[in-house]
Amino acid sequence: MGEIGVNHFLFLSAALFIIGMMGVLIRRNILIIFMCVELMVTAANMSLIAFGWELNSLQGQSFALFTIAVAAAEAAVGLAIIIALSRRVRTPVDVDEMRTLRD
Amino acid sequence: MDLINLNLTGPDWSLVVPQLIVFGLALVLLFLDAFLPNERHYTWLTAISLLGYAAAMVALYWQHGEDRATFNGAFRADGLTVFLSVIILSAAILSVMVSASYVERLEGRMPIGEFYVLLAFSILGALLTAAAGDLVMLFVGIELSSLATYVLTAFAKRRVTSVEGALKYFLLGIFASAILIYAMAWTYGLTGSTNLDEIRSAIQDTVAGQDRQEASLLLALLLLTVGLGFKIAAVPFHMWTPDAYDGAPTPVTGFMSVVPKAAGFAAIVRIMVQGLGPMRNDWTDLLAVLALITMAFGNIVAISQRNIKRMLAYSSIAHTGYMLVGLAAYQAREGTGFGSGNGAGSADLGVSSVLYYILAYTFMNIGAFAVVAWIQHRGRGMTLDDFAGLASSNPAAAVAMTIFMVSLMGVPPLLGFYAKYYVIVAAIDADLLWLALAVVILSAVSAYYYLRVVAVMYFNPPERQLGASSTWLLNAGIAVMVIANLALGLFSSRLVDLADRWTGALT
């Protein structure tokens, strides 16, 4: 077993990213889709920090901080939309119920 | 170990005045919303919004001709910034004019102050994206623009369709953002910087040396295309578009068909042309294929739509395709572009044709949605049948709608024709004859669904009378857009020349 290097982090981040993406594509529950997107964002943050560590620059880490702030804003907006919907629809957490609008 | 390489010079605030004005406008609106008596909200906030955007437009005049970066290269004041900012601010002014009375009378809405605040933040995000010189800035700008638009989509919060459209837009939007961040992380990791100019020079070395990094850079490029493809509604990343456009209040639909799309194209031009320019052989092919399927899908599916808003949604997908043709024709050639040019910098027909197209698209598309809003004001719905006999009951509105439809179709001498003309010329110039042919053929296909609206207005008998409604601001907005569609085409060579000269600084 060698030393833990940047590649290990990149592989972990890629794995998390793919798990998150699969979750978005497969799951039907809105909240779980939302959590999977957050997982993808976290994976991207991990890549940013790993690259920053490898490149010896702080740009990656500061980018990650901005990303976290944006993700928080996304969560606020998203949960607000879900709450607004839950007042109108009986089972708002299932995306298959979202079919008022269609061709 | 020199971990931080900071250049501690203060930012040049004089370069960011237009953006600061819009930011200030958003804050002022927030305060007035809280402290002004409710019955004055509508008049005051509308007037202040219009004044604020106009002031920002005036302040742009001093940015004209600059080519400088500040905030450590994160903010660029160059020709591209000015051109895109003019488009975005025009869209802002027109959106306020179109939406004011509609939003005021919308049932089950949020307070009107919030509408203007969200609009201002969305505009600010788009302006920042257009001016971004750094991946971080670009990302924050595009997110600010999108997040505000998600909420605007859900503005009629007691109507299920509005919130449902917002939810679909939101879920796919944040999915795209996550892909975008991951792509940016890889771009940063492989080139060693988040600054677009430094990325460019790093890639120049990689491409020249044929390093093994090429493969992972291609992956990053692919992910970037997917992420930005969602934002501009390119096929196959368009699934949210018809539902979000259909669900949102009509003036918001007009707004979101233009401003977030302009921000998305600004991001593509900044990243692809400015940052990844040396890899253009890779991404122009990708965009050419994307352009073809986007145009084909949008135009063909639009034919079967009876709902005007869904029809315009698919038509806006088709227009994304036409704009992508211009980008696919990017070739960074040396020499001058259309007209005289200045001869010094390298000009490119591709990017300037896209910029001109976005300008034209702003006036055509907001116009079409404005007429739909005008009809809805008078108690009609938004299906094709609601337009029946409009020509006999209100000839002026029918003429306006006809002009927007025919301009979207691309008939000379209207604005839409010139926009398509320059895109086609750029495509032919870049040896993309098949793509130019596709634009022509698919424009002919689009005639079917655009002209059907015109035919219904003129030849079908009216079903019932229009209700009376006073909407002078909306009428003025429609008049401005009609005039722009008729007249701006005449100045097209001068406008494209400007775009040309300004994009020359990019390459």
pLDDT beyond 50 at B345: no
Alpha helices (H) in B131-195, listed in sequence order: 135-153, 160-191
The band of B412, judged by pLDDT with boundaries at 50, 70 and 90, is confident
What integer pLDDT is reported at residue B110 of this predicted model? 84
Euclidean distance between CA atoms B245 and B233, whole angstroms: 11
Out of A54, A66, A85, name the one closest to residue B140 (CB): A66
Percent of chain B scoring above 90 in pLDDT:
64
Residue range B226-239: mean pLDDT, rounded? 92
pLDDT beyond 90 at B169: yes
Residue range B5-32: mean pLDDT, rounded? 87
Task: For chain A, list the domains and their CATH numbers.
Answer: 7-88 (1.10.287.3510)
pLDDT beyond 80 at B4: no
The band of B438, judged by pLDDT with boundaries at 50, 70 and 90, is very high
Give the model confidence (pLDDT) of B184-223 as tens digits.
999 999 999 999 999 998 888 877 766 555 788 889 999 9
pLDDT beyond 50 at B406: yes
Residue range B360-376: mean pLDDT, rounded? 94
Residue of B nearest to A49 (CA): B185
- Contact: B154, A63; criterion CB under 8 Å: no
* DSSP symbols for B135-150: HHHHHHHHHHHHHHHH
Stretch 68-97 of chain A: residues touching chain B, C-beta under 8 Å: 70, 73-74, 77-78, 80-82, 84-85, 88-89, 95
What integer pLDDT is reported at residue B471 of this predicted model? 83
Query: Which site among B158, B167, B179, B187 would you substitute to test the A interface, given the most A Cβ atoms closer than 10 Å to its Cβ?
Result: B167
Q: Which of B444, B451, B460 is nearest to B406 (CA)?
A: B451
pLDDT beyond 90 at A4: no
In the predicted model, what is the mean pLDDT of chain B?
88
Q: What is the DSSP letter of B306?
A: -
B307 three-class SS? strand
pLDDT beyond 60 at B336: no
Give the model confidence (pLDDT) of B259-271 as tens digits.
999 999 999 999 9
Span of B17-21, B182-186, B367-371, B392-396 with lowest mean pLDDT: B392-396
What integer pLDDT is reported at residue B327 of this predicted model? 92
Residue range B378-388: mean pLDDT, rounded? 87
Residue at B350: amino acid letter? G
A65 touches chain B (CB under 8 A): no
Chain A contact set for B247 (CB, 8 A):
101
Most confident of B33-42, B218-227, B343-352: B218-227
pLDDT beyond 70 at B67: yes
The band of B340, judged by pLDDT with boundaries at 50, 70 and 90, is very low
In the predicted model, what is the mean pLDDT of chain A?
89
What integer pLDDT is reported at residue B491 of this predicted model? 84
Q: Is residue A28 within 8 Å of residue A43, measured between CB atoms? A: no
Q: CB atoms < 10 A from the CB of A25, how many?
A: 10
Residue of B nearest to A21 (CA): B175
pLDDT beyond 50 at B399: yes
What integer pLDDT is reported at residue B335 of this predicted model? 40
What integer pLDDT is reported at residue B341 of this predicted model? 37
* DSSP symbols for B253-287: HHHHHHHHHHHHHHHHIIIIIIISGGGHHHHHHHH
What integer pLDDT is reported at residue B422 of this predicted model? 92
A43 touches chain B (CB under 8 A): yes
Chain A contact set for B185 (CB, 8 A):
44-45, 47-48, 51, 60, 63
Query: Which site among A63, A65, A86 would you substitute to test the B interface, given the most B Cβ atoms closer than 10 Å to its Cβ?
Result: A63
pLDDT beyond 60 at B176: yes
Q: What's the burial of B153, exposed, middle or buried (CB within 10 Å: 0-12/13-18/19+)?
A: buried
Torsion (CA) A28, B249, A90, B114 in degrees, nearest 10: 100
Q: Which of B324, B316, B325 is nearest to B368 (CA)?
A: B316
Give the model confidence (pLDDT) of A14-60 as tens digits.
999 999 999 999 998 999 999 999 999 999 999 999 999 999 999 99
Residue at B58: amino acid letter? V
H or E element in which residue B344 lies: none
Query: Which site among A74, A86, A95 would you substitute to test the B interface, given the most B Cβ atoms closer than 10 Å to its Cβ?
Result: A74
* DSSP symbols for B32-63: HHHHS-GGGHHHHHHHHHHHHHHHHHHHHTTT
What integer pLDDT is reported at residue B210 of this predicted model? 63
What integer pLDDT is reported at residue B343 of this predicted model? 36
